[in-house]
Structure 1
Amino acid sequence: MNYLFHYLRKRPGAVGIVIVLTIITSALRVTHALINVNIFNALIKLEFHGFFYWVIIDIAVFAIFLVLMQIQMAETVQLLSLDLRKDIIRQLSGKSIEEFNKQDTGVYASWLTNDVTTIENDGFYNILQSVQIITDPLFSMIALAKFSWTFIPIIALVSFLTVFLPQLIHKRLASASLSTTKANEKLLNVINDSLRGFNTFSIFGVEKQLEARVTETALFLLDKKVKQAKYQSIANNIAGFSNILGQVGIKAWTGYLALEKIISIGVIGSSGNLAYNVFNSLAVIAPIWTEMTALKPIFDKYHLTEKKNYKEEGQDCTENKFDSLEVINLQKKYQDREVFAHPINLCILKNQKVGIYGKSGSGKTTFMKIISGQIRSYTGEIQLNKVELNRLKYSALQKILLYVEQTPYLFNDTVRYNLTLGEDFTDNEIIDALKKANLWKTISNLPDGLNTEINENGNNFSGGQKQRLALARGLLRKRKLFLLDESTSNLDKKTALKVENTFLGLDDATVIFVSHQLHNENKSAFDQIIEI
């Protein structure tokens, strides 16, 4: 429960307004029941003026506060959900690339969508409604005690049954709830994966696989949801039976008291309403408690209490500059298999241009990911500016070097955003970077120029245009060390040479090119050429 209260404390103002409105509404519910005594008695006496007078007051006052409370509660729940999403994203942002990639993106998407919706309904709404669950019975029992103290023992007995019997299936419901969230993660991942692979299905004429894969996973989710609903239904029905038993008992006892002329006949209708307030609230305590406590496994998988930030582990660089990179006996293993045919040894100095080539599968990309800090587990030594690479913060490395991957990811946003990634750059800086990447002519001819929307994963851009945009993204940042991983592989030879020569011509930057085959035309411009 602490995880829910943690978010309530983040929004004291909004939560406070909900609590005040809830208390007022609960008081009005009791007032509504008491007004019913006057309405009933006026009706028995055929006092139509008094009857309609009390009816109008009852409707007007109660309806206004009920609407206000519901609006405020809906807004507050969305604010709490926003805070939760921000915390999840911050936790994900602190992961290393290696750690992040251990889960499919569909899993993370499910955390931020399906799971948050579950927490909204079973957590935030429930914990805010718990104020009403306390105040409704409290005010109603006070009113019933005013009529006759003999109502209290009946309420106490039925309350015990209503609250504690549903706890017998708490653990099973918690387990079923976690299974459902995992099935949601799997479904979202399969949907994303299948939709991204639509072109492949279509090319091979197996479009039916789209339906088959989604249906299979949806049926798995269906089974988990039905199981969760079964346990939830059992808890609700146990509480519901006790609720009905209590209301019938209160009405029967009220009738007896009225026949004995201990209370007026008008109290019969009011006691029914007050009994409903008491037992309906008590009936949902156990299910709501069970739903809220069942959220613990969901919160646990987020690790929100961990303050560890991978990118801030280690030491800072004294200056954002590059002097040297020395690699000594570097080796990396995947499943007990050595990636590099031989341990790597090299030394790269400031402003040098280095070409690295090798056969497919020789470990070129792995090497680039290691020296860019994306892969931290390796044997041997890597000295960046005479400091062991693993001792430096990843955030410090980001200020010195920039890795441009072979297949860059483009966001479903504008060209401008895909270049700046939310950072501040002038139009002149952006245009200059695009010109150096030989892409400005293409972008300037688009209908909206820099504000042209890029489709999902850049489907309206060619492979070569994507690579040049990624290179411009790198040039824009003016790092001291550029790591280009097959970054011109999708370009025609003329364009590739032009772009490569742009980087080779950078006087104040060190550049490491990785390629399966370097161009003879500019080999002489490299200070070193190394085979992996």
Structure 2
Amino acid sequence: MKQAVREHKVLLTITLLCSILTSAAGVLIALILQKVIDAALQGDKQLFREILLLSVVYLLLLGLFGLIYSLCSKALIRNVTITLRGRVFRGVFRQKAETFSATNTADYLSALTNDIKLLEDNYIQPMLQVLQNVVVFAVSLGILLYLSPLVTVILIGCMVLMFAIPSLFGKALQHKQSEVSSQMSAFTASLKDLLSGYEVITSYAMGRYAEQTFKQQNHRAAGVRFAADRLFAFNESVSHTLAILTQFAVVFIAAYLIITGNLSAGSLVALVQLSGGFVGPVLAIMENLPKIQGIKPVQERIDLFSEEKHEPDAEGLTPVFHSTLEARHLQFSYKQGNPVIQDISLSLEKGKKYALVGPSGCGKSTLVKLLTGYYDRFDGSIALDGTDLKRLDREKLQQMVSTIHQNVYMFDSDIRHNICLHEEFSEQMLDTALHTSGIHKFLQNTPDGLLSPVGENGLQLSGGQRQRIAVARALIRNKPILVLDEGTSAIDMQTAYEIESRLLKLNELTLITITHNMNEDLLGLYDQIIYMENGKIAEMGSLEELLKHGGRFRGFYTLEKDLAGATG
């Protein structure tokens, strides 16, 4: 948070200077009022005209500096919030995949929206107000001492009382602010869950349940915020009461001094004016300090998300893939879980084609993520051309791998953007990808061709069309390693067969396919089938070798074929 403010030092300096000038000038009005009233009571016309002229110039300058301060303070708030959001967003996306997945995305959304707003309302703006009021207080104190030391001492006594009582609410307000942040995060998570589950809610007639759940979360979030606001209101009420008490004391004491002949009428007006400039800033500070203190948990949460102290690659070597990708005695488990990958050793050769098969949950996808550098917390070793994966530049390693996922995410843009993903490709490369993936078959029926919008997460496309786009997205990049994670499961069998068979014919491509499709013609084209069970490699070999061996793969293969025939 502090670093985000420091990034705008120049604007902050200008804002503070204008704040000091504006605040100090505002207090000096009390002296002008004193001189005007005393000149009027004395009948001094010459002094009256001089003060009038001075006042006009004074007010013009006050207005100018006030405008500059107002513009600069708003620009500062805008820039700091932009910087904070940028730091949080960068921090989230620079996390390791495992760390990112361990946190609900609603928490990230809440940090980027609710928490940033809380910081703006309860830290940045109050901090500027506190700084401004400190100047007003200091200047007011100096003039008060000049006009009447006795009144000043009484005001200081009242001020101590004003500080002592509301400060009792500090810890309670901090606790309430933390509760507000947590509850808003939970509310965002629940809302995201309900909106994402729209189809399930509609299909199973869960409308009333959804409305009731939203109602409960909505009331809970509003209740927690109201509890915090209630405490703020009590704090402000006590502060206001003490402020009024202080002003009454000043008026009666100053009036007594006039009666005894120790104070002029103009000084009385100045003292009353200054008491507002003395008590008002203290009141504002007392109202804002609990907000600043109370926002500390939210500030720590923002700093945690925006933290960019992620472990860099040990050496950041440039990855090279000319021969093999090897794993030795690989072990992996998710946090606080049983091992998902157990003592796996294998060697994948460049240009060869591998099919990973096995029951659901046996660790196929996890193994591929490990081999391609998605996770880096594992036991054993993974080496690309003899170089340990942990020594390689992570970003460059990711640029060597394309993945066609089963669940395809579509950005809310057009078809072309979802294929190219902000990169530029030649028309020939794009055309090849369109034909290889089969997109050209449905493209002519779309209203605007490649520029046709796909909707939120591809809502305007079928599942098969989305998967074709995912295939084109991977193929156009022509990377040396391609992972096909059930990537053609939503496409008709004929198109899926055509796409997969074309991929199998690409000599320079190293293909790793995770599949449940037991098509004999396709499986027979793979150089090696890796059959997994319970996080281990049970068998490896070509289709012919594995079927001839008659082991566990053959039983799985036969069962899947029978199930496919029955459902067909």
TM-score by shorter chain over 0.5: yes
Alpha-carbon deviation of 1:305? 8.0
Deviations 1:274-293 (A, max 9, x none): 21111111122233222222
Q: Offset of 1:497 from its aligned partner? A: 1.8
Partner of 1:103: 103
CA–CA distance in 2 between the matches of 1:454 and 1:370? 32
My pick for the range that moved more, 261-270 or 108-117, is: 261-270
Partner in structure 2 of residue 494 of structure 1: 494
Query: 2-side partners of 1:183 and 1:274: how far apart?
Result: 43
1:378 deviates by 4.2
Equivalent-residue separation in structure 2 for 1:153 and 1:189 (angstroms): 54
- How far apart, in 2, do the equivalents of 1:191 and 1:14 lie? 38
In the alignment, the residues of structure 1 paired with residue 277 and residue 13 of structure 2 have an alpha-carbon distance, to the nearest angstrom, of 23
Q: Distance in 2 between matches of 1:393 and 1:223?
A: 49
Query: Which residue identity lines up with residue 74 of structure 2 in the other structure?
Result: A
SS in 1 for 2:162: helix
The reply to whether residue 22 of structure 1 matches residue 23 of structure 2 is no
Cα distance in structure 2, aligned partners of 1:289 and 1:477: 55
2-structure distance, mates of 1:397, 1:322: 14
Secondary structure of the residue that 1:484 maps to in structure 2?
strand
> What are the superposed Cα offsets for residues 200-252 of structure 1, whole Å, 9 maximum, x if unpaired?
11111111222222221222222321332233233333332332222222222
Aligned counterparts of 2:128 and 2:410: Cα–Cα separation in 1: 41
Q: Summarize the alignment of residues 116-131 of structure 1 with structure 2, pairs less than 5 Å apart.
A: 116-131=116-131
What code does the residue aligned with 1:463 have? G
The residue that corresponds to 2:168 in the other structure is 168
Greater mean deviation of Cα atoms: 240-249 or 506-515: 240-249
Tell me which moved more, 439-448 or 189-198. Answer: 439-448
Question: Per the alignment, do residues 444 and 81 of structure 1 end up closer, same or farther by CA in structure 2, a change over 3 Å counting?
Answer: farther
- The SS at the match of 1:382 is strand
**Cα displacement string for residues 340-382 of structure 1 (whole angstroms, at most 9, x for unaligned residues):** 6x75443210111112222333322222222222334445443
In the aligned structure 2, how far is the partner of 1:64 from the partner of 1:131?
A: 20
Worse overlay, 200-209 or 37-46: 37-46
Q: For 1:310-389, list aligned pairs within 5 A.
A: 310=311, 312-333=312-333, 337-339=338-340, 344-389=344-389
Cα offset, 1:13, TM superposition: 1.5
Aligned to 1:308: 309
Q: How does 1:466-505 map to 2 (within 5 A)?
A: 466-505=466-505
2:78 alignment counterpart: 78
Report the residue type matching 1:201 in the other structure: I
SS for the counterpart of 2:529 is strand
How far residue 113 of structure 1 moved from its aligned partner, in angstroms, is 0.5
- Paired residues in the alignment total 527
Q: Tell me which amino acid in the other structure corresponds to 1:193.
A: D
Within 2, Cα distance between the matches of 1:338 and 1:180?
A: 38
> Using the alignment, how far apart are the partners of 2:157 and 2:444 within structure 1?
78
Q: Is the 8 A contact 1:35 1:58 kept in 2?
A: no
Listed one character per residue, the Cα deviations across residues 409-441 of structure 1 (whole Å, up to 9, x for unaligned) are 122233343333334445554444333322145
Corresponding residue for 1:406? 406
- Counterpart of 2:269 in structure 1 is 269
Greater Cα shift, 350-359 or 53-62: 53-62
The one-character-per-residue Cα deviations of 1:157-188 (angstroms, maximum 9, x if unpaired) are 12222234322222221121111101011101
Aligned positions of 1:179-190 closer than 5 A:
179-190=179-190
Contact 1:236-1:284 at 8 Å conserved across structures: no
Pair 1:464 & 2:461 matched: no
Contact 1:444 1:450 in 2 (8 A): no
- Structure 2 Cα separation of the partners of residues 26 and 379 of structure 1: 63
Change beyond 3 A, Cα 1:430–1:252? farther
Match of 1:169, as an amino acid?
A: F
Question: Secondary structure of 2:84's partner?
Answer: helix
Matched residue SS, 1:525: coil
Aligned-residue offset at 1:114: 0.4
Matched residues in 2 for 1:128 and 1:489: separation? Answer: 58
Q: Distance in 2 between matches of 1:345 and 1:146?
A: 86
Counterparts in 2 of 1:371 and 1:244: CA distance versus 1, 3 Å:
same
Match of 1:409, SS state, is coil
Identity among equivalent positions (%) equals: 25
1:113-166, Cα deviation, whole Å (9 max, x unpaired): 000011111111122222211111122222323322333212321222223432
- Higher deviation after alignment, 224-233 or 459-468: 224-233
What corresponds to 1:8 in structure 2?
A: 5
Calculate the TM-score normalised by the size of structure 1. 0.90
For residues 377-399 of structure 1, what are the alpha-carbon distances to aligned partners after superposition, in whole Å with 9 as ceiling and x for unaligned?
44544333223444544324213
Letter in 2 for 1:242: L
Once the two structures are superposed, residues 487-526 of structure 1 have per-residue CA deviations (whole angstroms, 9 ceiling, x without a partner) of: 1110011211222133223222211111111433333432
- Native 8 Å contact 1:39 1:55 kept in 2: no
Give the conservation status (yes or no) of the 8 Å contact 1:372–1:403: no
Give the stretch that moved more between structures: 501-510 or 34-43.
Answer: 34-43
Unaligned runs of 5+ in 1: none
Query: Could you say if the C-alpha distance between residues 16 and 379 of structure 1 is closer, same or farther in structure 2, counting changes exceeding 3 Å?
Result: closer
- Going from structure 1 to structure 2, the CA distance change for 1:43 and 1:222 (only over 3 Å counts) comes to farther
CA displacement at 1:320 relative to structure 2: 3.5
Q: 1:99 to 1:257 in 2, by over 3 A?
A: same
Cα RMSD after superposing both structures: 2.9
Checking the alignment, whether the CA contact within 8 Å between 1:331 and 1:378 is kept in structure 2 is: yes
Is the 8 Å Cα contact of residues 322 and 400 (structure 1) preserved in structure 2?
Answer: no
CA distance in 2, matches of 1:75, 1:336: 49
Change (3 A) 1:69 1:485: same
Q: Which residue of 2 aligns with 1:33?
A: 30
Q: What's the CA shift for 1:99? A: 0.9
Judged with a 3 Å threshold, the aligned counterparts in structure 2 of structure 1 residues 420 and 43 are, in CA distance, closer, same or farther, namely farther
Question: What amino acid is aligned across from residue 115 of structure 1 in structure 2?
Answer: D
Q: C-alpha distance in 1, partners of 2:452/2:252? A: 72
User: Which deviates further from its counterpart, 24-33 or 9-18?
Assistant: 24-33
- Tell whether the 8 Å contact from 1:357 to 1:364 is kept in structure 2 after alignment: yes
Query: How far apart, in 2, do the equivalents of 1:47 and 1:200 lie?
Result: 85
Which has the larger Rg? 2
Residue 75 of structure 1 deviates from its aligned partner by 1.4
Find the counterpart in structure 2 of residue 194 from structure 1. Answer: 194
1:186–1:62 distance in 2 versus 1, CA, 3 Å = same
Question: 2:536 is matched with which residue?
Answer: none
Counterpart Cα distance in 2 of 1:163 and 1:495: 76
Contact 1:320 1:399 in 2 (8 A): no
**Unaligned stretches of 5+ residues in structure 2:** 533-568
| Change in 2 beyond 3 A, CA 1:192/1:256 | same
Give the partner amino acid of 1:309: H
Amino acid at match of 2:166: P
1:86 is paired with a residue of what secondary structure?
helix
Change beyond 3 A, Cα 1:476–1:271: farther
CA distance in 2 between counterparts of 1:33 and 1:130 reads 21
Match of 1:232 in 2: 232
